[in-house]
Structure formats: structure tokens, C-alpha cells
């Protein structure tokens, strides 16, 4: 194929790109179209390390799904920053618990999100987790790629996009997922490089698990399901199940992007679990949540966690607490890192609306579900928006 033909081929495949064959050769990126898909599976960092000035077509969203496009209702997301409700963990654990529980409850009902301050996790624990995460993404590709796997249950999984085996358009994100439960079984398979990563991640997983358990107690209490400071068979059995639950730490890396208006770091999604504890990049914002019909950017608060309700908590609370769509914007100048700790009940456990929250006035709104059906769902279709949760909703009055 001559240069002109090759250029024409490139233009057909990458219609919005100004790149020419020459720049391709110089940049040593994506020489042959038949190699493209394989290259993209190596991740965004890999792509950026080879030098690009344009976003390849594989990452370009249809116009209506781009970050600055009006949504279906004609609302635009630009320039809307959101101060999420702030919950002071020290107050939640202190004499102001009753008021703090009311704020927590309102935040979960109205926003599905809140920021948690005074959470008690040391800044050494969070900063070393971020630092080791950064170092992991800086490793040579050959070292990172040892952890690439299609197995969703792998103890450590490095990958790219959102669901790279299904996504038609790729997201501008690489990730490392660390399965933390049971730690004694998964830890030996976590990356041994960078050398401090395991220690930082173990410490971080234990501290976030402890915080999660405190939040679960508060949430159960706010729903009227357990009573504060009372140890009894009912309280204990609830909490034991959560204690034995799943935990996955996801380190997200969003390299700087030459054309951030064409793509997303993560598409609109809700989290499948019970609660997510998210450590945001303090300097580079990017998280947007859907609130009152529009996309709003969450302002990071230093030393805080963003906590969000997942699908399982929406189901468990029979719809009282909301699992809200969120997405991630990428940045032209700076790369961004975030660390999500996703928690839920054990993988084998059925998730169902709490029987205590169902009555004549508040009928059961969701089918029982389990982790296996979620996995089946995401491996069989493109996980878009809240489809999984939608698929669990009952047509009230029509349940068999």
C-alpha cells in the first residue's frame, strides 16, 4: 500500500484525526489498522507513552454522549460544580450522632453521595496508597501487563476502559483492581512491584474496611434496622454478614488527554456494591454525578472521602437510598488518579430489600439478586447507565 492509500485508510478509520501517516511513523503509534484493537487493549498509558496528539477513534464518543453535550432534557453540564453534603465522621461517632444520622440519611436519599471528613484514616495511609498506585502505573508496560487478565475474580487485575471486552468505545482509563477478601488468599497474587505497594494496599484495605463497617452501622441505624450501642443477636448477625463481605480496591489512572471533550474517563455508571469509599485526586477534579437531571462536578475536599450508595444498598433499602449515576471527565493538562474501595456482602449472598422495610405502604420494589447474576449481566452486555439496577426493579403489583 502506498503512502497516499495508507493515509486515506487512516482518514477513513480516524475521520476526526489530523494525524498523517508521517506523524504515525514518527510517533511510532498504530502503524497498521489491523493492529489497532490489540494496541488499545494495552491501555491508555501505553498509548500516551508512545506519543499521541489526537484521540484515536476508538475513544471518541458519539456526539450526544460527549461530556459537554446537552443531555436528553437539553441541560448542559458546563460550569456546574457541586458541594456534596458533608458528613463529619467525628460527630457521627460522638454526642451529635442523632443529627449526623439525619444528615446522612438525607444525603443518601437526595444525592446518593456525600463527602466524609474527620474520618480517622491517617494521611500517611492515604498518601502512601496514592503514591504506590502512581508508581505502579509508571512501571514499564511489560511489568504492568503481567497482571492483565480477563478473569473478573482474579486477585489482581490490570486493565483498561470500563469493560474492555464489551466496550465499543473505549474509556480513557487504566486500572488495577485488588481483590481484598479474604486477604490471606489474595495478597500473595498482588503485584510485588513497586516494592511498597502490597504493604500500602494492605494497610489501606484494613483501614477502609474498618471505616466501612462504622458507616454500615450508621446506615443500618439510619434505616431503623439496628439500634446504636446495642449488641444483641439481631444487630450482631447483620454486622457479621457485612464484616465477612467483599472488598475490592480499584486504582484508577486517567492520563492527560489531548482532546478531553471527545471522550470520558468512565462512562455513566452506578456502583454494583453496597457502599463505595472513593479517595479523589485532591488537585485534579473529574468526578461528575447526576443530580436533578444534570451532570455536576464534585469539588474535592482535602483529606476527605467521597462516599456513594451502590446498587445493593438501593435494593437493600428498598429504594430509599439512591445509587446515583456518575462519570469521570479527563483533563487536558494533568493526569488524575483515584482510589475506590468497593464493599458489599459476600459474593455468595442474596441481596434483597430488607423485610423490615417492606409493608403495605412501602411494597417490595426490587427482585432478589446476587453477585453471580450481576457478573452474568456485565459479561453478556455492555454495562450502560443503570441497566443492571433497572433490570432488578419490580413492576409493583405484577410480581409472580
Say how far apart CA 121 and CA 304 lie, in whole Å. 9
177 or 352: whose CB is closer to ligand AKG? 177
Beta strands in 155-299 (DSSP E): 156-160, 174-179, 246-254, 266-269, 275-279, 287-291, 294-298
Q: Identify the residue whose cell numbers are 450508595.
A: 309
Say how far apart CA 110 and CA 291 lie, in whole Å. 9
Q: Identify the residue whose cell numbers are 465499543.
A: 168
132 or 271: whose CB is closer to ligand AKG? 271
Residue 374 Cβ vs ligand AKG, minimum distance, rounded to whole Å: 14
312 or 364: whose CB is closer to ligand AKG? 312
Residue 358 Cβ vs ligand AKG, minimum distance, rounded to whole Å: 29
10 or 111: whose CB is closer to ligand AKG? 111
Residues that bind ligand AKG (CB under 6 A): 250, 252, 266, 271, 278, 280, 286-287, 326, 328, 338, 340
- By beta carbon distance, the residue nearest ligand AKG is 338
Residue 178 Cβ vs ligand AKG, minimum distance, rounded to whole Å: 13
340 or 378: whose CB is closer to ligand AKG? 340
Total count of residues recorded for the chain = 400
Residue 325 Cβ vs ligand AKG, minimum distance, rounded to whole Å: 10
Please give the DSSP secondary-structure letter assigned to residue 268: E
Beta strands in the chain (DSSP E): 81-82, 86-88, 113-117, 156-160, 174-179, 246-254, 266-269, 275-279, 287-291, 294-298, 305-309, 326-328, 336-344
Residue 31 Cβ vs ligand AKG, minimum distance, rounded to whole Å: 32
21 or 246: whose CB is closer to ligand AKG? 246
Handedness of CA 310, 177, 339, 285 (dihedral sign): negative
Say how far apart CA 257 and CA 238 lie, in whole Å. 45
304 or 338: whose CB is closer to ligand AKG? 338
Say how far apart CA 137 and CA 255 lie, in whole Å. 10
Cβ atoms within 10 A of the Cβ of 354, count?
Answer: 16
Say how far apart CA 157 and CA 161 lie, in whole Å. 13
Q: Taking Cα atoms as reference points, which of 80, 35, 81, 78 lies closest to residue 58? A: 35
240 or 379: whose CB is closer to ligand AKG? 379
Residue 307 Cβ vs ligand AKG, minimum distance, rounded to whole Å: 12
Residue 337 Cβ vs ligand AKG, minimum distance, rounded to whole Å: 8
Residue 170 Cβ vs ligand AKG, minimum distance, rounded to whole Å: 16
Burial (CB < 10 A; 0-12, 13-18, 19+), residue 314, is buried
Amino acid at each position: 500500500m502506498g503512502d497516499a492509500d495508507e493515509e486515506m485508510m487512516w482518514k477513513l478509520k480516524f475521520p476526526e484525526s489530523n494525524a498523517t501517516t508521517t506523524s504515525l511513523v514518527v510517533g511510532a503509534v498504530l502503524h497498521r489498522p489491523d493492529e489497532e484493537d490489540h494496541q488499545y487493549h494495552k491501555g491508555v498509558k501505553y498509548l500516551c507513552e508512545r506519543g499521541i496528539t489526537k484521540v484515536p477513534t476508538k475513544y471518541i464518543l458519539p456526539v450526544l454522549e460527549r461530556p459537554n453535550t446537552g443531555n436528553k432534557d437539553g441541560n448542559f453540564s458546563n460550569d456546574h460544580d457541586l458541594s456534596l453534603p458533608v458528613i463529619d465522621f467525628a460527630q457521627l461517632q460522638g454526642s451529635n450522632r442523632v443529627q449526623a444520622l439525619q444528615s446522612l440519611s438525607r444525603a443518601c436519599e437526595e444525592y446518593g453521595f456525600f463527602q466524609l471528613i474527620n474520618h480517622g484514616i491517617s494521611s500517611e495511609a492515604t498518601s502512601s496508597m496514592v503514591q504506590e498506585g502512581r508508581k505502579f502505573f509508571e512501571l514499564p508496560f511489560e511489568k504492568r501487563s503481567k497482571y492483565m487478565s480477563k478473569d473478573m475474580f482474579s486477585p489482581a487485575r490490570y486493565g483498561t476502559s470500563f469493560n474492555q471486552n464489551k466496550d465499543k468505545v473505549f474509556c480513557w482509563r487504566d486500572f488495577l483492581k485488588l481483590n481484598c477478601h479474604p486477604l490471606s488468599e489474595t495478597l500473595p497474587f498482588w503485584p510485588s512491584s513497586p516494592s511498597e505497594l502490597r504493604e500500602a494496599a494492605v494497610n489501606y484495605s484494613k483501614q477502609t474496611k474498618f471505616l466501612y463497617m462504622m458507616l454500615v452501622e450508621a446506615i443500618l441505624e439510619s434505616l431503623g434496622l439496628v439500634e446504636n450501642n446495642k449488641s444483641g443477636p439481631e444487630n450482631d448477625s447483620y454486622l457479621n454478614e457485612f464484616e465477612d463481605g467483599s472488598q475490592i480496591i480499584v486504582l484508577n489512572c486517567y492520563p492527560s488527554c489531548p482532546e478531553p471533550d471527545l471522550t470520558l474517563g468512565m462512562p455513566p455508571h452506578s456502583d454494583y456494591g453496597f457502599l463505595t469509599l472513593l479517595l479523589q485526586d485532591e488537585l485534579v477534579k473529574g468526578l461528575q454525578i447526576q443530580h436533578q437531571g444534570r451532570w455536576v462536578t464534585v469539588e474535592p475536599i482535602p483529606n476527605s472521602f467521597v462516599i456513594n450508595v451502590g446498587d445493593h444498598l438501593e435494593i437493600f433499602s428498598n429504594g430509599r437510598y439512591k445509587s446515583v449515576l456518575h462519570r469521570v471527565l479527563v483533563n487536558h493538562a494533568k493526569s488524575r488518579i483515584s482510589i475506590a474501595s468497593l464493599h458489599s456482602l459476600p459474593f455468595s449472598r442474596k441481596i434483597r430489600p430488607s423485610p423490615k422495610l417492606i409493608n403495605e405502604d412501602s411494597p417490595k420494589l426490587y427482585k432478589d439478586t446476587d453477585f453471580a447474576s450481576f457478573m452474568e449481566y456485565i459479561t453478556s452486555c455492555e454495562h450502560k447507565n443503570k441497566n443492571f439496577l433497572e433490570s432488578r426493579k419490580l413492576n409493583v403489583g405484577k410480581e409472580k
